[in-house]
């Protein structure tokens, strides 16, 4: 995974236009010196969890505890209630406030999400989300940010998630809550950073699959959007399926695959199908049918096992 620095909003679009979209990446601001000495609050939120198209982006934003009001004064709020123009404006202000606020985002590619959710040992979207959030918090710690409090917009039951994070980070005061992005300014800032990063990535998305963006575009990316559904139906290959922008593990995409792509039948090996595959533990236990032979060393010396002396 790459780890790159971004100093302003313009760098995001340029960066995404020049890179391979199939791998994950972490982008970060410079770390303000004050955040290494003063006790800080850190907020965590995501953008793009539900769409069938594009990456999911997790973000963190941090600042000294006594600067939290400054984030609110900037206008930081839940990114979902802000216009795209307002989010861009606020992201620019967060970048300009580099003397007291810092941020990081992890851009998780669509194929990375699919590979996780479709592998034999299930790795759910909640697990992907938790691991990303935990990784970004650990990165801030490793970078020297003096974290005192952490605020997280919940994924799944808030109490269980808070208990999990508290065990990993016992030195921090952890608060996990629903709608945290509308309550805590540092979570609002994280939400804005994540949403702007996802929007910029989609605006300049490079299709390695030969797909060209139509005039209609692809809509919001959410499964119930008619424009998104039209994009999916138009850009499916009969053999290879969808371009890498699509999360094929989503039910909307899977349904179109079942209807429009070539059917695939997977052959099962005979011993797997018949259920005769030996378990791993069977190689370590004593055989019930075969008598265990004595090693030649013991036979040649007429030595036998005893149970007592």
Specify binding-site residues for a divalent metal cation.
45-46, 153
CB 184 within 8 A of CB 191: no
Where is the binding site, in residues? 45-46, 153
What own/partner pairs with CB < 8 Å and gap ≥ 24 does 262-268 have?
Answer: 262/238
Coil/strand/helix, residue 42: strand
CB-based contacts of 1, cutoff 8 Å, min separation 6:
23, 24, 25, 26
Instruction: Tell me which residue has tokens 């194929």.
Output: 111
Strand 2-5 relative to strand 25-28: parallel, antiparallel, unpaired?
parallel
* Beta strand ranges found along the chain (DSSP E): 2-5, 25-28, 40-47, 56-64, 102-108, 147-153, 173-177
Closest CA to 133 of 85, 61, 71: 61
Please state, in angstroms and rounded to a whole number, the distance separating the CA atoms of residues 55 and 106: 10
- In the chain, the N- to C-terminal Cα span, in Å, equals 62
Coil/strand/helix, residue 103: strand
């Amino acid at each position: 995974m790459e780890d790159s620095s971004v100093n302003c909003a313009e760098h995001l679009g340029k960066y995404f236009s020049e890179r391979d979209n199939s791998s994950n990446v972490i982008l970060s601001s410079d770390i303000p010196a004050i955040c290494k000495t003063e006790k800080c609050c850190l907020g965590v939120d995501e953008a793009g969890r539900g769409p069938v198209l594009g990456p999911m982006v997790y973000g963190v934003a941090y600042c000294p505890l006594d600067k939290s009001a400054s984030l609110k004064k900037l206008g930081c709020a839940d990114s979902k209630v802000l216009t795209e123009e307002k989010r861009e404006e606020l992201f620019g202000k967060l970048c300009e406030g580099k003397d007291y606020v810092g941020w990081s985002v992890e851009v998780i590619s669509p194929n990375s999400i699919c590979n996780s959710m479709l592998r034999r040992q299930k790795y759910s979207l909640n697990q992907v989300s938790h691991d990303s959030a935990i990784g970004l918090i650990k990165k801030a710690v490793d970078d020297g940010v003096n974290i005192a409090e952490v605020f997280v917009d919940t994924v799944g039951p808030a109490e269980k998630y808070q208990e999990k994070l508290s065990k990993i980070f016992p030195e921090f005061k952890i608060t996990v809550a629903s709608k945290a992005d509308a309550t805590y300014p540092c979570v609002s800032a994280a939400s804005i950073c994540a949403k702007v990063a996802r929007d910029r990535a989609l605006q300049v998305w490079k299709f390695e699959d030969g797909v060209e963006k139509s005039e209609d575009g692809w809509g919001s990316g959410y499964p119930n959007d008619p424009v998104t559904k039209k994009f999916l139906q138009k850009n499916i290959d009969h053999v290879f399926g969808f371009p890498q922008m699509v999360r094929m593990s989503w039910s909307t995409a899977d349904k179109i695959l079942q209807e429009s792509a070539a059917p695939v039948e997977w052959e099962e090996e005979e011993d797997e199908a018949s259920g005769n595959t030996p378990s791993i533990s069977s190689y370590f236990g004593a055989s019930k049918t075969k008598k265990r032979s004595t090693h030649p060393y013991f036979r040649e010396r007429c030595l036998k096992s005893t149970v007592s002396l």
